Amino acid sequence: TMEHEDIPELIDEEHTNNCVNGAKFSDDDDDDDFSDVDEEMEMEPVQCLFCKLDLSNVEAGIEHLKLAHKIDFHRLKSKFQMEQYSFIKLINCIRSEDVPAEKFITAEIPFWNDEKYLKPKEYEAWLSYDYDEMPAESEEPNESKSETNLTSEINALKEKVKEKELLLEQAREDMAKMRQSFQRLLDKESAPVVCTKNGKVLPLNSVAGVSAEADSGYFSSYAHFGIHHEMLSDEVRTTSYRDALLLNKSYVSDKDVLDVGCGTSVLSIFASQAGAKSVVGVDNSDIIYNAMDIVKRNNIDNVSLVKGRLEDTKLPQEKFDIIISEWMGYFLLFEGMLDSVIYARDTHLREGGIVLPNRCTMSIVGYGSEALYKNQVTFWDDVYGLDMSNMRKEVMHEPLIDIVDAEHILTEPNLIADLNIENVDLNYSNFSYEFNLKCTKSGEISAFVGYFDTFFDLPVPVMFSTSPNSKPTHWKQVVFFLEQKQIVSVGDCVKGNIICRRSRSSARSLDITIDSFGNKCTYYLD
């Protein structure tokens, strides 16, 4: 619900002259700038993380750590599924706590994976290293490998190349970010890997790092009445929240409640009806002016509404017993509003308080509807007699948001993520899961379908599901189509891997990669 002023605007990569924060760059200028910067970056020295030895650059430092201290960052990446933030936390943990190398060698859990280690003691070149580009640990070359194994490795490399090609559309945006970061280095400024908000250290790519101006479009979308009509008309959603409060009046009674992203204030009013002592609703959308009138018309005297971004707004009171929010998006995490709930929890929740809902899970199933696949994918093969099959490749990367028929579910579900909202951190959207879907029907799998479940663990528990087997909601389901349909039989197990990452280009968007049936595809939920 906020953006950092340093994050560049999106770039239209089809234009030869690109504008970044008002400055135009030609391709030739880019090449010259990056050549100069790369040379300087390669020469920037670093000090070993465990001894006083100075190394010529980060790459030399990594090699020294492996040879002298037995610390292999390739192995750590593979063992703990580390990414950029984890690497930064590890570096800062070593510098802050003076951790010996032996502790990392014998570690079974990533003990450095704490938000406090996002704040560096001081800038050093280690923090600018692109750890995401480092390959995870792999097998050492073996001259005795069979021709079949070599062929398999070649095919795997081809798949990696294919995936890289699909990511080229993000290259311009990434280059713009790098250009700004490198320019700060040239100006002898510290390149920020984190931002601060009200004294708190936050990851640069969180919603908190988004400037108010850049994030205005998100809030403007919630100023329209249609979206609130859709949400209020969703009986599953609205009655679940109402029941969680009204069926637990003894729990809510005399409590102070904060409603994050209150919209029309319906949840604030439910909390008041449940006996809350006071309720504060906050929303940065203009719909809040209508909400103020709704509260007045219904003679609710203990609800106060505040317009503004939570992270930038002073509330009538500082602490609350209950934080409630309807923050969920498509595939649960789209829109990144959970960032604001986490901020509210860490800033405004009293000790012993609760966040509602307090738990959410994400699941996927194998799906096979010939009609849906034909309507959405093979449709492009013959459009009024025209061959538009080139569109299929692009369509594959856009998940379909739709209500699917449970009749065509072919597998048991797998729960791929379980989020405890009372302790989850801002890295929640970055995870991977090795799925194993047991087939309950024979047929052709044409897609994987994702959905989520939501839980209010109260004295009278309440939950709802967005599963295809449950009553439809406005969240529907998310359909990830396969490039080629796959025949399965009862008892078969569909194995694969799903990786979810917060988008580099937008803190509110997701990049989801699914690797199964020997094919890998990245889907962009934005």
The catalytic site residues sit at 326, 335
Query: Do the bridges between strand 278-283 and strand 359-367 make them parallel or antiparallel, or are there none, so unpaired?
Result: unpaired
Rounded CA gap, 79 and 111, in Å?
13
Rounded CA gap, 401 and 73, in Å?
39
Which secondary structure element, helix H or strand E, spans residue 483, and what is its range? strand 477-488
Report angle CA 114, 116, 117 to the nearest 5 degrees.
Answer: 75
The Cα-based distances of 340 to 2, 309, 336 in angstroms read 9, 9, 8
Token digits for 43?
A: 């020469």
Say how many C-beta atoms besides its own lie within 10 A of residue 270's C-beta. 22
Which secondary structure element, helix H or strand E, spans residue 278, and what is its range? strand 278-283
Token digits for 40?
A: 């300087």
Rounded CA gap, 113 and 189, in Å?
26
HSE-CB of 292 using CA atoms within 13 angstroms:
11
> From start to end of 315-439, where are the E strands?
320-324, 349-356, 359-367, 400-402, 414-420, 431-438
How much is the CA Rg of the chain, to the nearest whole Å? 25
Token digits for 451?
A: 């959905």
